[in-house]
Structure 1
Amino acid sequence: MTDTTQREKYSVSVGFNRNLGAELKVAPRDGENEVAVVEHTLAPGKLAAPLHRHTNEDEISYIIEGRMGVQEGDNTFVVEAGESAVKGRGIWHTFWNPGPESLRFLEIITPGDFAWYFAEADEILPDNGEPDADAAEKLATLHDQYEFELCPESVPELIEQHGLETGEE
């Protein structure tokens, strides 16, 4: 991973079709506990990411506005505003906005270095469409650095299963 001691806070769009807004609120270096807090936004009917899993991090999502659909392992559930979901390391998971209003939530990441992933992915992802071969190779290297696995082939089934929108807005 890159040296993150001098990095700046960010506000980017990443994830599937760049559907997921990500704004770093608390960097892991801001305290001694190495926790990060990222505020995410997701429009109604949108998938945030393919099924994925983290080797090193736990994520706790606290819903501020809207609702979050979550798949964690074989379990699927909806989290309402004022509630939270824990997505543990090593477990395949994803999330989406079942609508009809925008979803806004805080993601507490522990340990927090994964928070830098969003800014790094933003620099690699194309503005529209699928990454070309060079971008795909850079993303694969980034995923390896963070010990982060994606299952892109899960996207069509997730979209169909949860009645989500397929394209960009």
Structure 2
Amino acid sequence: MRRTSSKYVRHSDEGELLWLRPPTRSGHVFIKVDPTNTSSARMAMGTQQVEVGGRIPVHRHDSQDEILFVYAGQGTVIVGDERAQFKAGTTVFIPQGVWHGVENTSDEPLQVVWVVSPPGLEAMFRDIGTPPGEEAKSLTPEEFAAVAERHGMRVKSH
């Protein structure tokens, strides 16, 4: 679903919606800004909803810095060897190459804004996500890790 009324402004219902399924994720992403819909090849930005009890698995990006801004919910974030609780209003900076992950420990969906530079994360979401109205993709942990690796992301196995 790609709907934008402006090159520069993205309203709350505008962007590319993709549903995410287990094994490692559930919820959805909304890609708002990326090289396909702007004139910049320097960054990508979107939102992600992590369902109750869901998580973003521990992983690292080979060549991207990332910022997460939590605007609803609470949980636990792992960045490097640090583990911290967070709530709405928290900002997390993740340098390239640093292991990180998020767990939704609350009784409501977790809502985060993500920004990566350079772009690339959005391409991985397109490969693992499902547009509304299509049959959901179901990936094994190994399939997910292989897709992630093609996009410069390493998933930590537990």
TM-score by length of 1: 0.70
Q: Structure 1 residues 84, 97: CA separation in 2 closer, same or farther (over 3 Å shift)?
A: same
Per-residue CA shift, 1:41-98, capped at 9, x if unaligned?
Answer: 012222222x211111111111111113101111001222122111221111111111
Determine the structure 2 residue equivalent to 1:90.
Answer: 97
Q: Equivalents in 2 of 1:116, 1:10: separation in Å?
A: 13
More strand by share: 2
Are 1:108 and 2:118 an aligned pair?
no
Q: Equivalents in 2 of 1:109, 1:78: separation in Å?
A: 22
Query: Comparing 103-112 with 30-39, which one deviates more in the overlay?
Result: 30-39
Determine the structure 1 residue equivalent to 2:140.
Answer: 130
Amino acid at match of 2:48: H
Determine the structure 2 residue equivalent to 1:34.
Answer: 42
Amino acid at match of 2:140: E
Secondary structure of 1:91's aligned partner: coil
Uncovered stretches (5+) of structure 2, i.e. residues with no partner: 1-14, 131-135
Q: Identity of paired residues, percent?
A: 20
More helix by share: 1
Determine the structure 1 residue equivalent to 2:150.
Answer: 145
Secondary structure of 1:112's aligned partner: coil
TM-score by length of 2: 0.74
Q: Equivalents in 2 of 1:139, 1:66: separation in Å?
A: 27
Secondary structure of 1:9's aligned partner: strand
Uncovered stretches (5+) of structure 1, i.e. residues with no partner: 1-7, 154-169
Q: How far 1:20 moved relative to its partner?
A: 3.9
Q: Structure 1 residues 65, 55: CA separation in 2 closer, same or farther (over 3 Å shift)?
A: same
C-alpha RMSD of matched pairs (Å): 2.5
Per-residue CA shift, 1:101-141, capped at 9, x if unaligned?
Answer: 21111101111122111111236x843x736xxx73x852x
Deviation above 6 Å: which 4+ runs of structure 1?
A: none
